[in-house]
Amino acid sequence: MSPTREELLLRLDAPAASWLDEALAEATAGRADDNVAAAGWELRFAAAGRHCGQDHADAVRTLLLREADAGLTTLTRLYQRGTAAERRAVLLALPDRVTGPGALPLVEDALRTNDTRLVAAAVGPYAAAHLDPHAWRHAVLKCLFTGVPVDAVESLAARAHGDTELARMLADFAAERTAAGRPVPADLHRALTLTGEES
């Protein structure tokens, strides 16, 4: 869970805290229609890592999105125009910002990359709630393929339980790795056990 504004301000040094106050004020002032024109606070979104440090960038960006009441149009624009770090922040904010499946194209795009930061962010609570079974199974495989720990997959145990198709896909993946003389990720066995199908 992201820290509150007050918690985050306590973690930042004075210049960063001042910058954040100004950025949040801009985001609040920028609350308007969720239109196609970029608002001024979006520049602050991009600059969050430089001003508040990479360790706090996700939390700062999440606060900016919340303060601006960013909707799907804004989130999509920020994702499409953003760096990997900015895209990650958008993905992490989806459960808080989008109630329906409208942001699935952003999740699907992230899952097509081999950037482990994006893949891990894409398999969070929003994906757990909205990815259909076929896409979700492939997301689990993507984690195994890219080395993202399956612990990143939100609701893995609940969704994997009794999923015979996921079990088949995992077994096939393990067989392919073995046939190629490559190690089978330990996480694969864990995921397979969760399906209840491992022999």
pLDDT in tens, 165-184: 999 999 999 999 999 999 99
Amino acid, res. 167: A
Instruction: Provide the pLDDT for residue 40.
Output: 83
Answer whether residue 196 shows pLDDT above 70.
yes
For residue range 56-69, what is the model confidence (pLDDT) as tens digits?
Answer: 999 999 999 999 99
Read off the tokens for 109: 């795009």
Alpha helices in 68-182 (DSSP H): 72-81, 84-97, 104-112, 116-122, 125-130, 133-146, 156-160, 164-179
Answer whether residue 22 shows pLDDT above 50.
yes
Q: Virtual CA dihedral for 149, 155, 157, 163, nearest 10 degrees?
A: -100
> Long-range contact list for 103-108, CB < 8 A, 24+ apart?
103/72, 103/75, 103/76, 103/130, 104/130, 104/131, 105/76, 106/75, 106/76, 106/79, 107/131, 108/135
Answer whether residue 78 shows pLDDT above 80.
yes
Instruction: Provide the pLDDT for residue 170.
Output: 97
For residue range 89-141, what is the model confidence (pLDDT) as tens digits?
Answer: 999 999 999 999 999 999 999 999 999 999 999 999 999 999 999 999 999 99
For residue range 148-168, what is the model confidence (pLDDT) as tens digits?
Answer: 999 999 999 999 999 999 999
Instruction: Provide the pLDDT for residue 35.
Output: 55
Instruction: Provide the pLDDT for residue 36.
Output: 47
pTM of the model: 0.91
Answer whether residue 199 shows pLDDT above 70.
no
Neighbours of 95 (CB within 10 A): 17
pLDDT-based confidence at residue 29 (cuts at 50, 70, 90): confident
Mean pLDDT, residues 20-34: 82
Mean pLDDT, residues 30-58: 83
